Amino acid sequence: MEALRTRRAVREFTPDPVDESTIEELIGAAILAPSAVNLQPWGFGVVRGSERLHALSAEAKRYVRAHLPASSPLAGHAADPAFEIFHGAAALVVICAVNGESQSSEDCCLAGENFMLAAHARGLGTCWIGLSRAWLNEPAIKAELGIPAEWRPVAPIVLGHRRALPSPTLREKAKIVWNR
């Protein structure tokens, strides 16, 4: 419960890299997630290096600006010259559905939560970057990142050494309908 209460979306990272063995350990935690009929439908694309991610952020931002409706609450972020989609993180881990089964996307989301909680337990920061998902699903981008064409990016998560742990955000009271 402590991990659930203290994990935060981190958007400020140090320039320090995250080593490959740590990322593999976190992916190992991700694949412990439950999956429908034990299909384990996930694959992982990993991009490392803050300079590489900075360049990819610029590409993704151009795509988002061109495709995001002006009425979206995220439009202001995309228009901000200082906004970087990948927040200066050291790595991007893209959890992909590797088959077309209807439950596979949800299973990838479960793996993503495991990944983020495991990273938090290691003192690392993560942020789910849903704004980049459509861009990551473009065939040319998948090819550029080495993600197989048949895989479907579901959970793009940046990872790095956090500058600080953000303060908690207020949660609304749970909406519950009891059927007794």
Full DSSP string of 156-168: EEEEE-BSSPPPP
How many contiguous H segments (helices) and E segments (strands) does the chain have? Answer: 7, 4
Q: What is the pLDDT of residues 88-139, one digit of tens each?
A: 999 999 999 999 999 999 999 999 999 999 999 999 999 999 999 999 999 9
pLDDT digit string (tens) for 143-176? 999 999 999 999 999 999 999 989 988 999 999 9
Domains and CATH numbers, the chain: 2-160 (3.40.109.10)
Task: Return d(Cα 117, Cα 99) in angstroms, integer.
Answer: 25
- Rounded distance between C-alpha atoms, residue 11 and residue 84, angstroms: 9
Q: pTM, whole model, 2 decimals?
A: 0.95
Q: Residue 36 pLDDT more than 90? A: yes
